């Protein structure tokens, strides 16, 4: 039998290193981590990248405000990013920083390829620029004369710049969009397709005034626009163009997990740049929705940010991961509130999962010495494993978690329907076989979503988290070594 191992390259946005990250930022990393852990679980060779976007005017200003040298400032911010990802159990294989020398060299090499392909020219640039979003806007796009994204003041920039011939790629992009299901959710693909069909303008890819940036290789007065710099991280993280090993193995990306606000850069600008360089395009863009508070996007500029560390301290990383995935479907917006969070902890983590594992292990420990836990598979049929695998392959991890949860509820129902606590002898053995095997399967399937919880359940059952064992044992026996532990989750008093 030939076993083929698939590769899976997954990325998150690289976050601006100008400030602390909030719950909205944590969202993309948790989603990507669940997918990365799932793919590792099913045996894929995974490369998972996150990182920091460290150049540009916004960062320079923040460093000045903090009274620090630019590089010291970003070092300090990045340390906090890494602490957050560690606290959230984000299992990235690589943390890429755009101030790494190798990345800076990769960006220059990338721009040289664009130039070689005659896709760069010099012209005057004039437009509205928002420093905070590092984005140019047209007059039409402004909202009451301010940045449509963050509401801050914009300024007119008129300067010499080098342009990338984005317009040249309009037909190629249309062709690509018509042949591929590229962006999820689907309506985001339609949105981008409409914008491409409406006509593409060339984009400026250098700035003369921003010096905290990578020098443009063909003109010492110009610096590379921070978005071009940032997008190339997906290549440089694999060692491109100097080291082929990871690049050959993992390119192209299987999915870029992003927020819906940066879809244009990832779904139009990035593919066009890659086409110009003759590099393969990413297979999918997963454009996630926003976390809102009182219907407003959670963002620093609105002063309504929620600190993920304080939620982890109070309720655990797994509870937060669970909430972020379960509360809303990935592409849609969802509102965060403490009440909703606590309701999910008490009503689902405690009452469904925690309760199931505690009840089953209590029954198993109470069963007479040497109880065999043997029987026939009744409950295992309730697990919709194929549907779950399909949902995960489609990046629909909210549906995936709902399918697992349905099974957890079926297992609790099985205890009640069979009055498992009152059974004896062969009937008790059969019920416990079903319940222990179900808990074992749950420990495996829940692991990508809540790694600490998956491990705790497996430790209490004395079983392994391996996908090849994700079905009821064919010999009709549960063969773990039970050691009941504490409740998995504690009820939060309101
Ligand atoms: O855009 N809910 O960085 P960034 C959900 N450096 N997602 C949110 C959110 C919210 N309330 N607030 C922010 C950048 N995000 C660039 C990326 S990638 C090559 C360069 C998400 O720090 C937002 O949608 O401003 C974006 O995808 C991500 O956080 C990074 O934000």
Q: How remote is the CA of residue 327 from the centroid of ligand 1, in Å?
A: 19
Query: Which one, of 164, 167, 166, lies nearest residue 121 by Cα?
Result: 164
The pLDDT tens digits of the residues spanning 172-208 come to: 999 999 999 999 999 999 999 999 999 999 999 998 8
The per-residue pLDDT of the chain, averaged, comes to: 95
The pLDDT tens digits of the residues spanning 428-468 come to: 999 999 999 999 999 999 999 999 999 999 999 999 999 99
Looking from the CA of residue 13, the nearest atom of ligand 1 is: 18
pLDDT band of residue 136 (cuts 50, 70, 90) is confident
Angle between helix 317-326 and helix 23-41 axes, rounded to 10 deg: 90
State if residue 27 touches ligand 1 by the CB under 6 angstroms criterion: yes
Looking from the CA of residue 260, the nearest atom of ligand 1 is: 24
Tokens 């996150």 found at: 50
State if residue 282 touches ligand 1 by the CB under 6 angstroms criterion: no
Which domains does the chain show, CATH number per domain?
340-469 (1.10.730.10)
Largest CA distance in the chain: 86
Q: Is 310 exposed, middle or buried (0-12, 13-18, 19+ CB in 10 A)?
A: exposed
State if residue 259 touches ligand 1 by the CB under 6 angstroms criterion: yes
Q: Are 492 and 319 in contact (CB under 8 A)?
A: no
Q: What is the mean pLDDT of residues 305-319?
A: 96
Predicted TM-score of the model (pTM):
0.95
CA dist list (Å): 96 to 60, 92, 126: 19, 10, 32
Tokens 């090849």 found at: 468
**15 DSSP β-pair partners:** 52
Distance in angstroms (rounded) separating the CA atoms of residues 174 and 153: 34
Q: What is the mean pLDDT of residues 140-159?
A: 89
Q: Is residue 2's pLDDT more than 70?
A: no
């Amino acid at each position: 039998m030939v076993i083929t191992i698939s590769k899976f390259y997954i990325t998150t946005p690289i976050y601006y290193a100008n400030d602390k990250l909030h719950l909205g930022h944590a969202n993309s990393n948790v989603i990507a981590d669940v997918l990365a852990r799932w793919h590792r679980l099913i045996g894929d060779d995974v490369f998972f990248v996150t990182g920091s976007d460290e150049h540009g005017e916004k960062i320079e200003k923040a460093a000045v405000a903090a009274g620090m040298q630019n590089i010291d400032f970003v070092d300090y911010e990045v340390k906090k990013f890494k602490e957050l990802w560690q606290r959230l159990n984000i299992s990235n294989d690589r943390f890429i920083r755009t101030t790494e020398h190798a990345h800076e060299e990769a960006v220059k090499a990338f721009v040289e390829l664009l130039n070689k392909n005659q896709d760069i020219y010099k012209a005057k640039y004039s437009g509205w620029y928002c420093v905070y979003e590092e984005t140019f806007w047209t007059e039409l796009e402004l909202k009451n004369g301010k940045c449509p994204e963050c509401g801050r003041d914009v300024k007119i920039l008129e300067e010499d710049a080098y342009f990338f011939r984005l317009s040249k790629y309009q037909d190629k992009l249309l062709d690509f969009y018509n042949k591929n299901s590229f962006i999820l959710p689907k309506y985001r693909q339609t949105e981008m397709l409409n914008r491409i069909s409406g006509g593409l303008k060339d984009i400026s890819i250098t700035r003369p005034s921003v010096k905290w940036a990578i020098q443009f290789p063909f003109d010492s007065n110009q610096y590379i626009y921070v978005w071009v710099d940032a997008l190339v991280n997906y290549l440089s993280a694999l060692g491109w163009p100097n080291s082929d090993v990871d690049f050959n193995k993992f390119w192209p990306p299987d999915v870029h997990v992003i927020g819906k606000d940066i879809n244009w850069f990832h779904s139009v600008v990035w593919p066009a740049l890659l086409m110009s360089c003759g590099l393969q395009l990413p297979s999918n863009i997963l454009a996630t929705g926003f976390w809102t508070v009182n219907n407003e996007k959670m963002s620093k500029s609105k002063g309504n940010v929620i600190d993920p560390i304080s939620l982890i301290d109070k309720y655990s990383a797994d509870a937060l991961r669970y909430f972020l995935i379960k509360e809303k479907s990935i592409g849609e917006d969802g509102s965060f509130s403490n009440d909703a969070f606590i309701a999910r902890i008490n009503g689902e983590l405690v009452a469904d999962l925690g309760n199931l594992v505690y009840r089953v292990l209590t029954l198993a420990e109470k069963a007479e010495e040497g109880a065999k836990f043997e029987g026939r598979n009744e409950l295992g049929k309730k697990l919709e494993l194929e549907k779950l695998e399909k949902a995960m392959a489609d990046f629909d991890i909210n549906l995936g978690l709902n399918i697992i949860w349905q099974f957890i509820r079926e297992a609790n129902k099985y205890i009640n329907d069979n009055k498992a606590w009152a059974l004896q002898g062969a009937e008790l053995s059969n019920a416990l076989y079903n319940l222990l095997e179900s808990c074992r399967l749950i420990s495996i399937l829940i692991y990508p979503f809540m790694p600490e919880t998956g491990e705790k359940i497996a430790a209490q059952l004395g079983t392994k988290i391996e996908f090849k064992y994700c079905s009821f044992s064919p010999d009709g026996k549960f063969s773990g070594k039970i050691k009941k532990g504490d409740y998995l989750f504690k009820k939060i008093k309101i």
